[in-house]
Amino acid sequence: MTSDKHDSDRLANEIARVANAMELQNSLRKKFLMGLLFGIGTALGASVIASILVLLFGQALQSFGIDPSVLDARTTKME
């Protein structure tokens, strides 16, 4: 009988612990912060990938003997 009481108390404590963990995990504040970090990570990652691609594209143009600055709108003169 004592073992059954001990097991049921242990089960109740474990269920309460899981419920508290789920409540913390599903809080609006945590969801907001996770969304914010996901957005910042996505923007930074996309920026790094774009920078690498532009660098590789410029190097590829140079290897073909094309000056990459001809593609820069600031250096071209409109007549």
What are the tens digits of pLDDT across the range 5-57? 888 899 999 999 999 988 888 888 888 999 999 999 999 999 999 999 999 99
pLDDT for the residue 1? 54
Reading the block at residue 45, the tokens are 């990652």
Kindly give, in sequence order, each residue whose CB lies less than 8 Å from that of residue 76, ignoring residues fewer than 6 positions away: 70
With 0.85 as the threshold, say if the pTM is over it: no
pLDDT for the residue 15? 94
- pLDDT of residue 67 exceeding 90, the answer is no
- pLDDT of residue 75 exceeding 80, the answer is no
User: Cα dist. 28→22, 23, 33, 40, 59 in Å?
Assistant: 12, 10, 9, 18, 47
pLDDT for the residue 55? 92
Q: Which of 66, 49, 50 is nearest to 58 (CA)?
A: 66
